Each structure stands twice: as structure tokens, then as C-alpha cells.
Amino acid sequence: MDLGIRGKLALVTGASQGIGREVALTLAQEGARVLAVARSQDKLKELVTEIEQIGGEAYALPADLGKPGTVEGVLREAAKAGTVEIFLGNTGGPKPMQAQEMGAEEVLEAARSLLFPMLELTRGLLPGMQEARFGRILYITSLAVKEPIENLALSNTVRSGLTGYAKTLAREVAPFGITVNTLGPGYTRTERVEEVFQFRAQQQGIPVEEAYHQQAQQIPVGRLGTPKEIADVAVFMLSANASYLTGQTLVVDGGFTRGLL
Ligand code: NAD
């Protein structure tokens, strides 16, 4: 299937590893030009090289989106490459915490990385998308927006806020050919998750594969997802073909969540 995004400019944040990196690669394979944002310049350079090796076009924009004032710089650099018509908003998860431990400061810190840069980048990109009469915006959230996860109160709270924002924005910008959606990954084997399971295994005194096996037993598909399985869905949601899909949250979790909708 031709996804209709050849030559379009895509901004992908959190692109140095995991799901964001895989989305960046897949977009490039589909012919999009990729602006890759993350904190690690070295990892971004590796990604750019990999994309160039497959005949694609990509640029590294190293930035810490959690730091105030960073977004303006990213938008300025992005504008040099043209009009961004595709935006994948993604950063890392906040620290674990119970709801009763959570105060305003903790929420603010999580929002600085997970919510505020998404809002600010979106606001900066919307005028160009409106003029182009085309835009695809997708935020990576978590299965936690459907079924909040114990001890991840910050994620459950802030990502729900982003989901509410996306739903509201989707209706506002739909007349301009701009779609806004969110994708909640389920358990996906990325570098970050590898660390989490290493820690779990160590704590329980079991091999890491056993820790994965225990988790996999909770998932109807019988295993964790791969970044590629998430990226393929994300890239479809970011494609020209997904023109009637907006204001939606798609949880890609191998059947893990039990909610009806
Ligand atoms: P990851 O931690 O491996 O990758 C996150 C990416 O975001 C990295 O490229 C990192 O450099 C970048 N990043 C983090 N903070 C940043 C900042 N302040 N500025 C710029 N870049 C920043 O995460 P992942 O496993 O690929 O997951 C992606 C998102 O999906 C995360 O928010 C994660 O919490 C969420 N999620 C993941 C899973 C999973 O099982 N992997 C499940 C549910 C939700």
C-alpha cells in the first residue's frame, strides 16, 4: 500500500531509541523526510546514517524537550527544512510513583517532558499544516490511558491530560485536513523496557527471560510487542490514507487491556 507520504516532512521526537526511532525509520522507508529529535546527538547521528543508507533523507535535531525554551529552537530548525506535515510526539515515561505520593511539583515535572512540549510543538506546527491543508499529528501515550497502571500515577495522570487535549484539538483542526490521534503502546520490547525487566529479574532472583515470560502470560498474544509492530500502526495513523481517523486513541497491546472500547 502506498501511504501517500513520499516527500513529506515529518518531525519525530524521542527518535533516538525504542518506538520513536522505529517510527522515524519506517516513515523514512515510506519516503518521508525525517527531522529526528532527542537528547543524544550520537544516537541521532546513527539513525540519520541508517536512513541515508536506505536512500532516505533525515536530519538530527538534538534537544532536551524537558527544558524550557527548547521548543522554539526545534521549530526554528525544522522550518529551515520546510513545512512539517507529519508530527510524532513522543518522549520517555515519568518516574514511578503512587497517586497518594504525587504533588504539584511532581506533576509539573512530568508535564514538562510529556505534555508541554507536545502542546508547544503542535502550536508551532499548526499554521504550516493549516496552510498546506494537510496534517497528521500522533502522540505516543500508553495503555495506561485505558487502564491506569499501579505505581505509575504520574504517567496515568499526565498522559490522560494529553489524550484530552488531542481529542479537543482534533475537532478544532479537522476542517483543515489535519488529524490528531494518540497511540497507547502495550508492553513493547524496547531498550527502556529491557532495563525494567533486568531490574525485575534481579529483584526476584530469576533470569530476565523468565521475567519476560511472566509478563507474556498476561498478554493474550503470548508475548511482548516489538517496536516495529507499534511503528507500523503509528505510521499508518500518520499516513495520507488515514484521512478519516481523528480524535481516536488506539491501544496496541496484543489484547492486554480488557476495556470494551
Ligand atoms: P524509550 O525510553 O526507549 O525512548 C524514549 C525516547 O524519548 C528516547 O529517544 C529518549 O531519548 C527520548 N526522550 C526522553 N525524554 C526526552 C526529552 N526530555 N527530550 C527529548 N527526547 C527525550 O521509550 P519507549 O520504550 O520507546 O517508549 C516510548 C513512549 O511510550 C514512552 O513515553 C514510554 O513511556 C511509552 N510506553 C512504552 C511502553 C513500552 O512497553 N515500551 C509501554 C507503554 C508506554
Which pLDDT tens digit goes with each residue over 128-174? Answer: 999 999 999 999 999 999 999 999 999 999 999 999 999 999 999 99
Residue ranges with strand state E in the chain: 9-13, 33-38, 58-62, 84-89, 135-140, 178-185, 249-252
Strand-strand pairing, 178-185 and 135-140: parallel
Q: Which atom of ligand 1 is nearest to the CA of 225?
A: 40
Q: Find the angle CA(239)-CA(244)-CA(246) to the nearest 5 degrees.
A: 85
Q: What is the pLDDT of residues 235-251, one digit of tens each?
A: 999 999 999 999 999 99
Q: Is the pLDDT confidence value at 261 over 90?
A: no
Is residue 225 within 6 Å of ligand 1 at its C-beta?
no
**135 in contact with ligand 1, CB cutoff 6 A:** no
Mutate to test the pocket of ligand 1, among 19, 151, 159 (most ligand atoms within 8 A of CB): 19
Q: Is 6 in the pocket of ligand 1 (CB under 6 A)?
A: no
- Going from the Cα of 82 to the center of ligand 1, the distance in angstroms, rounded, reads 26
- Tens of pLDDT, residues 10-55: 999 999 999 999 999 999 999 999 999 999 999 999 999 999 999 9
pLDDT at 160: 98
pLDDT at 105: 97
Angstrom CA distances, 248 to 2, 202, 244, stand at: 22, 38, 10
> What is the model's pLDDT at position 149?
93
For a mutational test of ligand 1's pocket, the pick from 21, 190, 252, i.e. the residue with the most ligand atoms closer than 8 A to its C-beta, is 190
| 3-state SS class at 54 | coil
The three cell numbers locating residue 182: 494518540
Q: Report pLDDT for 120.
A: 98
Please check the confidence at residue 7 and state whether its pLDDT lies above 90. yes
Instruction: Report the C-alpha gap between 140 and 159 in whole angstroms.
Output: 9
pLDDT on residue 119: 98
Residue 209 has pLDDT above 90, yes or no: yes
Instruction: Reply yes or no on whether the pLDDT at 206 is more than 90.
Output: yes
Domains in the chain (CATH in brackets) are: 9-187+226-252 (3.40.50.720), 189-224 (no CATH)
Q: Please give the mean pLDDT across all residues of the chain.
A: 97
* Segment among 24-28, 192-196, 253-257 with least mean pLDDT: 192-196
pLDDT on residue 189: 97
Cβ 256 under 6 angstroms from ligand 1: no
State percent of the chain over pLDDT 70.
Answer: 100
Q: Model confidence over 65-74: pLDDT tens digits?
A: 999 899 999 9
> pLDDT at residue 1 above 90?
no
Task: Please give the pLDDT value at position 99.
Answer: 97
CA of 92 to the centre of ligand 1 (A): 3
Q: What is the pLDDT of residue 95?
A: 92
Average pLDDT over residues 193-199: 91
- Strands, DSSP E only, in 73-151? 84-89, 135-140
Question: Residue 44's pLDDT is what?
Answer: 98
66 touches ligand 1 (CB under 6 Å) = yes
Q: How far, in Å, is the centroid of ligand 1 from the Cα of 73?
A: 21
